[in-house]
Each structure stands twice: as structure tokens, then as C-alpha cells.
Structure 1
Amino acid sequence: MSWKEKWSSFQAGLSEFYMAPYRREFLRAAREEDDLFLLLVLSEALGLPNPAAYHTMELLPVVYEEFHEWHQRMGMDHSPIEGIRCC
């Protein structure tokens, strides 16, 4: 094993050592960020004024796949939007 491989392995281990305790927090923060993004994209359909509705309209087909999981995480049993039937 060369010196560079050993150093690379050491860096990877050190990174894992410091990041492991916070991995759950990183995942939670990423999920909350995704939830906010979905809310912004779907805000017009939910009845909230959205100044960027024209631009977010293009993202709706991408968001539909994640919509079911999102509305259940937000505590809604059924789809809050009439046009989307996922349940």
C-alpha cells in the first residue's frame, strides 16, 4: 500500500469518525429542505400565493412522484389537492 493510499484511507476514516454522529441530523435537514421545496412547488395548487408559480409549474411532473410521501409526512391522510389522486 502506497503512502497516498494510506493517507486517503486515513482521511476517509477520519471523515467517517466525525460525520457518523451527525448523519441522522444531516438526513433530517435534507428531508426538511425537500419538504420546503415541495411546498413551494405545490403552493399554488394548495391555495397559497406563490410569486414563482410560473417557474415552479415546470417542476410539477418531477414532484408528483414524491407527493404521496410528502403529504403523509405533513400529517395529511389524503391528498389535499383535488387534481392529484395518489391514495
Structure 2
Amino acid sequence: MDDIKNDQPLWQRFLAGLNEFYHAPYRQAMARAARDEEDLFMLMMFAESLGIDNPASFYTLELQPLFLENFHDWHTRMGMEKCPFDHIGCC
């Protein structure tokens, strides 16, 4: 492992350390923002199924099968203990 690090010049290792030092405090905030964005996207996709009018349902309907495997994690994170749909058996 040390051989790999020694192959890089000292200034590249120093820049990598500075980059890590700069980004480390913001990593948790960025992960939280990404999770919130994903939650909003999941709500937009499954809003019509939840009984909420969705003007973009024509576009999001074809994405539902791709995100169905993440649906269980999403609805438990949103506070729904059981799956709100009868036609999806995730719980």
C-alpha cells in the first residue's frame, strides 16, 4: 500500500489531503441533502398511487418499477410502518 502512495508525487498527496480536509465537514450535510432529494423524487413518483394529484404522473409512471426495490426503505423512513398499497407486497 505504501508503494502505491509513494508512486504519487508529494504535491499530489498534499492536494489530496487538503481536498479531504476541506470536504470532510460537509460530507454529512451533503448526504442528508441527497437523501432529502431522493425522498422528494420518490414522493413525486408514487404520489398518484398515494392519492395525491401529480401533474407529472405520465412521466413518472414508467420509472416506478425501477425504484420499487427502494420503496420499502422510503416508506419506513417517511413514517409508514406498513406499505400503503394493496398491489405492492413489500411488507
Q: Could you tell me the TM-score, scaled by structure 1's length?
A: 0.89
Whole-angstrom distance in 1 between the partners of 2:26 and 2:75: 26
Q: 2:39 — aligned with what?
A: 35
Q: CA deviation at 1:12?
A: 1.6
In structure 2, stretches of 5+ residues that fail to align are 1-5
Q: 2:80 — aligned with what?
A: 76
Whole-angstrom distance in 1 between the partners of 2:50 and 2:9: 53
Q: Which of 40, 58, 61 is the aligned partner of 1:57?
A: 61
In structure 1, stretches of 5+ residues that fail to align are none
Report the count of equivalent residues: 86
Whole-angstrom distance in 2 between the partners of 1:5 and 1:69: 44
> CA offsets, 1:15-64, max 9 Å, x none?
11011111111111111110000000000101111111011011011110
Q: Specify the SS of the correspondent of 2:73.
A: helix
The answer as to 2:30 corresponding to 1:23 is no
RMSD: 1.6
Q: Specify the SS of the correspondent of 2:84.
A: coil
Percent identity between the aligned chains? Answer: 51
Q: Could you tell me the TM-score, scaled by structure 2's length?
A: 0.85
Q: CA deviation at 1:82?
A: 1.9
